[in-house]
Chain A
Amino acid sequence: MTDATGQEVLLGAEESAGNFAAAHIGEKSDSAAVIVRRLYKSFGSQIVLDGIDLTVKSGETLAMLGRSGTGKSVLLKLIIGLQKPDSGSIWVQGREIGELAIDAMNEVRKKMGFLFQHAALYDSLTVEQNVAFPLARHTKMTERERTGRVKELLASVGMEGDLKKMPSDISGGMQKRVGLARALALEPAVLLLDEPTAGLDPITSGEIDELILKLQEEHDMASIVVTHDLHSAKTIADRIALLHHGRVLIEGSFSELEKSDNTFVSEFMKRDG
């Protein structure tokens, strides 16, 4: 387990962000799917991320916990390039995304899947068309192959019977499932999930958690899950990072966080654990 102080030791003052990532990528190019180093982001005078450091390996699931407004969702948007950091570096699948031109960035995005907090399904398209959207643009599949793949994806999230429905005609939980199917369409190496169980009842939340676990077993993806749901984090995550005041306060397994004697950590874990 490493805490904020431990991370200082890990990184070392003399070790630059670039050297660290280069070392990681060089040593085990296929293991580190996402590397975030000394990432800063502020909106006006409000500092949201104050030097974040993270590494997520392939096949690993990291849950990001923290109070509302601590920049968890912002971090996901920075990783997929929807927002630009003030400073710091992000490597996805061995490529530094900070200086990438839009076409190169889009190539990196094809390797990532993103489930938005409110699913963000295209409301003028059917469920089927939503899932087919990335396939139609980034693959050379025929119409028939695409339909087959969409059915397969929707079946994997238990939505095979709702192909022709509009997003407004299905529930929040079902929208999340469709959003998950869309995020998985291009078989991403990195999956980013922004509060997959927020606003759902406990049973639907449990179903979504099971679905994420099942998908993780089927695909060897690196996943970063932003959540407030401790049950969900305990179920699906290999490792948990707790954000506080724009920094990773503590990082480790669920049980390690539970055992922490840090007042904020124990208070946070007690709320629901």
Chain B
Amino acid sequence: MSQNASIPHRLISQDTEPARSYVPQPIRYVVDVINLFLEWLGELGFFTWQVLRSAFRRPFEGRELMRQLDEIGSKSLPLVALAGAAIGAVLSLESRSSLVRFGAKSMLPAALVFSIIHETGPIVTGLVVAGRVGAGIGAELGSMKVTEQIDAIEASGVNPYKYLAFTRIVACMLMLPLLTIAADFCGVLFGWVADTLADPISFHKFFNQGFHRATFSDFLAPTFRTAIFGLIIGLIGCFQGMRTKGGTEGVGLSATSSVVLSSLFVILADVILVKLILVFFP
């Protein structure tokens, strides 16, 4: 028997030095971050699978879906419209001074319309909804998780992936394109208001000049790509909310992380989707 057998392990002196890691600290940190991200991605994939699996089983929770359409769509409308209007007015003011300098003032309506329907409208809508709805979903589901309400739903024989997550994700996907149309409309309208205050022009003329060269695909693809933004916002909000741990601090973290991650992924998805749209709708 070893001489140290009866001595507690923690009291035995460590003669051999622990193996030194020759990986520099910053690299180890990066590796840890990548590991955490991959772990998060794996859990997100599993969560997505659970939601998908539940989606095709009865009942389809139509009433809850309608409630979420109202919660996510109608209640986001004022904020999205306001953001669209502000962006339209600012774009009009900024573009006007640049275009006047190059003698292309008559191009202002077209520049404004193309800028709004192609990029500004969809991305502003995506980010505003990510802020409002992403935080709301993360906090609501997080709070339900820590107060065992999600367990209570499951204990009642109701699938929470369908009742809570699927309805919210579908509502986000259906509402984002509609909200984008509202943001686009307000952007164009308030772009005209800003323009006509500096140099009066009728809305009819402004509208005609703006949409003169626009085709249906100029509007369709950019607007409907926001359904993907909706998928991202709904999925990340529900995932972060339903994996909440701890008490109120955990709920706060879920709300924050839902907004940060969904905004980040909306921007990243925008880059990819813009490239794809340019390839398929040149």
Distance between Cα atoms of A182 and B155 in the complex (Å) = 11
Q: Which of B143, B151, B152, B155 has the largest count of A CB atoms less than 10 A from its CB? A: B155
Q: Is B156 an interface residue (CB 8 A)?
A: yes
Q: Is B154 an interface residue (CB 8 A)?
A: yes
A 123-142 to B, binary, CB cutoff 8 A, 1 in contact else 0: 10000000001100110000
Distance between Cα atoms of A182 and B158 in the complex (Å) = 14
| A133 nearest CB neighbor, chain B only | B156
In the complex, the answer to whether A116 meets B148 with C-beta atoms within 8 Å is yes
In the complex, the answer to whether B57 meets A82 with C-beta atoms within 8 Å is no
In A183-214, the 8 Å CB interface with B consists of none
Contacts of A268 in B (CB 8 A): none
Among the stretches A8-16, A105-113, A236-244, the one at the interface with B is A105-113
Contact of A137 among B143, B151, B157 (CB under 8 A): B157
Sorted from nearest, which 10 A-B pairs have the closest CB atoms?
Answer: A109-B157, A106-B157, A120-B148, A120-B152, A114-B155, A134-B156, A110-B157, A116-B148, A80-B155, A82-B151
**Minimum CB–CB distance for A62 against chain B, Å:** 19
| A113 nearest CB neighbor, chain B only | B155
Q: Is A118 an interface residue (CB 8 A)?
A: yes
Q: Is B76 an interface residue (CB 8 A)?
A: no
| B159 nearest CB neighbor, chain A only | A102
Distance between Cα atoms of A123 and B54 in the complex (Å) = 24
26 residue pairs from A and B, CB less than 8 Å apart:
A77-B151, A80-B155, A82-B151, A82-B155, A102-B54, A106-B157, A106-B158, A107-B157, A109-B155, A109-B157, A110-B157, A114-B152, A114-B155, A116-B151, A116-B152, A116-B155, A120-B148, A120-B152, A121-B152, A122-B144, A123-B143, A133-B156, A133-B158, A137-B59, A137-B156, A182-B156
Q: Is A27 an interface residue (CB 8 A)?
A: no
In B142-167, the 8 Å CB interface with A consists of 143-144, 147-149, 151-159
Interface residues of B (CB under 8 A from A): 54, 57, 59, 143-144, 147-149, 151-159
| B53 nearest CB neighbor, chain A only | A102
Contacts of B156 in A (CB 8 A): 109, 133-134, 137-138, 182
Distance between Cα atoms of A121 and B54 in the complex (Å) = 24
Distance between Cα atoms of A123 and B144 in the complex (Å) = 8
Distance between Cα atoms of A117 and B148 in the complex (Å) = 9
Distance between Cα atoms of A114 and B150 in the complex (Å) = 13
**Minimum CB–CB distance for A48 against chain B, Å:** 17
Known contacts A109-B156, A134-B157; A120/B151 CB under 8 A? yes
Q: Which of A107, A120, A122, A182 has the largest count of B CB atoms less than 10 A from its CB? A: A120
Contacts of B57 in A (CB 8 A): 103
**Minimum CB–CB distance for A45 against chain B, Å:** 16
Distance between Cα atoms of A242 and B164 in the complex (Å) = 38
Distance between Cα atoms of A112 and B151 in the complex (Å) = 14
**Minimum CB–CB distance for A80 against chain B, Å:** 5
Other than the given A82-B155, A123-B149, 5 more pairs (CB < 8 A) read A106-B159, A114-B155, A116-B148, A122-B144, A137-B157
Distance between Cα atoms of A81 and B155 in the complex (Å) = 8
Q: Which of B59, B144, B151 has the largest count of A CB atoms less than 10 A from its CB? A: B151
